Structure 1
Amino acid sequence: MTSLSTSKDIDYRVTAENVEKAFGDNKVLRGVSFRVQSGTATTIIGPSGSGKTTLLRTLNALDRADSGVIRVDDVEIDFSTPTPKPEIRRFQSRSGFVFQSHNLFPHRTVLENVIEGPVMVQKRPRDEAVADALALLDQVGLAEKKDQYPFQLSGGQQQRVGIARALALKPKLVLFDEPTSALDPELVGEVLSVIKDLAVEGWTLVIVTHEIQFARQVSNQVLFTDQGVILEQGTPAEVIENPKEERTRQFLDRILNPL
């Protein structure tokens, strides 16, 4: 296993070492290693089928890695060995996940969706959860929608509720899986604006995105994945403006200069 030495002067919220994941004969992740500093935004870009979403899901054990070591905050798991379910739940509790397709409970109001995790999973007092949820809904611009149901909201509003729901768990890490891919183009900006605000506020974010201009603006670190490996990583200036790898250049040229 390739070891990533960690400087005592840098607080890494996420450390992944030699992460492998396959679905049957399809090897999706091939020895992936990277780190995420606390209070920074990391974006993962790359072609479809390159392993971006699977990599993100391993950080919350929604897809359990086959091998490799992942640490999120103070919980580290070696996925090469069996891990008790309580430890997996502890690992998962360190992060909040924002899905592509909102995944809101259709029969519950906006407020009820946001307090579900804190009350039912974290067993926090309802009054406390409601107060936090109202503050978060105000933060994402949806305080006046608290008593409405998901079907009464636009796709962008539903996604902003999904972000508030993830933040309500008070996670150490927030994971976004292509948060604008299911939205109409005119709704993309409102969701990206909320995520940019979170980055400015110092949340630790890992974002799978196909929005290259957004990645350029919000990222402290960009990972370019291809065929299950991180082919290139660095700052937006390094990866997006001046990529070293020909494959990265080809991908960016196709995205930024479509015919």
Structure 2
Amino acid sequence: MSVPEQPENRVVATDVRKSFGPLEVLKGVSFTVPRGTATAVIGPSGSGKTTLLRTLNALDVADSGVIKVGDTEIDFGKPVAKDQLKRYRAQSGFVFQSHNLFPHKTVLQNVTEGPIVAQKRPRAEAEADAVELLDQVGLKDKRDRYPFELSGGQQQRVGIARALALKPKVVLFDEPTSALDPELVGEVLGVIRDLAVQGWTLVVVTHEIQFARQVSEQVLFLDQGVVLEQGSPAEVIGDPKEERTRQFLQRILNPL
């Protein structure tokens, strides 16, 4: 499937804040993901990476701040209508850590569920797109299999195809390899790398630092709910300005 060509395929977040009870998780996060680029979000556990990604899709609704995803902008400091939130959520596709496939549906049915049920697209059209996407992620021959018959890496690739089937303007990945055995990581990262080359707009929360260095145009280092450092991979990973960033990378890249 070709990349949606709308010029507004980007993300702009301004002063985004999110708390869970007394715990302030995001403390005024701002950044822009330009159209057709990949942004990697890195940082220690508990830094707010997943919460940040979930606010971009409103799986977790921000307490305040303005976020524009695709062609829909919401000021979360004001009341948000349900139809506006629905339109906002439709701008992005979300790839979860743990696949979240329907176990009782085939691979093809998993990929077509959203387009047919949520977007009311004709079944024949949705199935044709799904087959194309499954071919793109190397799973066309698995279309009639069920999730339990697939490896973890194959399930995650189905999850990626499912997100793309919604024709989103932005694709969000939440630690897409964290639940995989080490030997399966490469096949999933390869698919994401191909999407980046094709010009999809991507935001990838990842602990794969070398992957972030190779694939992304921008890296955000998140620590304690703030973007402590952002820039190109050469800047943030290759020559970080902040001591906290250097400490984190040292532990990740040289664990012994």
TM-score strictly above 0.5: yes
Q: Which residue of 1 aligns with 2:75?
A: 78
Partner of 1:196: 193
Say if 2:212 is the partner of 1:215.
yes
Task: Report the counterpart of residue 157 of structure 2 in structure 1.
Answer: 160
Determine if contact 1:12/1:36 at 8 Å carries over to the other structure: no
Q: Determine whether 1:225 maps to 2:222.
A: yes
**Contact 1:98–1:179 (CA<8 Å) still a contact in 2?**
yes
CA-atom RMSD in angstroms = 0.9
Between the aligned partners of 2:110 and 2:32, the Cα distance in structure 1 is: 32
Structure 2 residue corresponding to 1:15, chosen from 5, 12, 21: 12
What secondary structure sits across from 2:10 in the alignment?
strand
Distance 1:204 1:144, change over 3 A: same
Give the 5 Å matches for 1:1-259: 13-259=10-256
Using the TM superposition, give the Cα deviation of residue 11 of structure 1 relative to its aligned residue in structure 2, in angstroms. 6.2
Letter in 1 for 2:92: S
Aligned residues: 250
Structure 1, residues 5-42: CA drift from partner, whole Å, max 9, x if none?
xxxxx967111000000000100000100001000000
- AA in 1 matched with 2:194: D
Give the Cα–Cα distance (whole angstroms) in 2 for the partners of residues 133 and 12 of structure 1. 22
Counterpart of 2:4 in structure 1 is: none
* Structure 2: segments with no counterpart, 5+ residues: 1-6
TM-score by length of 1: 0.96
Q: Give, in whole Å, the separation in 1 of the partners of 2:92 and 2:161.
A: 13
SS state at 1:47 partner: coil
TM-score by length of 2: 0.97
Structure 1 ranges of 4+ moved more than 3 A:
none
For the residue of structure 1 that corresponds to 2:173, the secondary structure is: strand
- Paired AA for residue 109 in structure 1: T
Aligned mates of 2:8, 2:120 — CA distance in 1: 29
Distance 2:198 2:226 in 1: 30
Please state whether the residue corresponding to 1:61 is helix, strand or coil: coil
- Paired residue secondary structure (2:65): strand
How many angstroms apart in 1 are the aligned matches of 2:148 and 2:71?
Answer: 38
Q: Provide the C-alpha distance between the structure 2 equivalents of 1:13 and 1:175, rounded to a whole number of angstroms.
A: 12
Letter of the structure 1 residue corresponding to residue 192 of structure 2: I
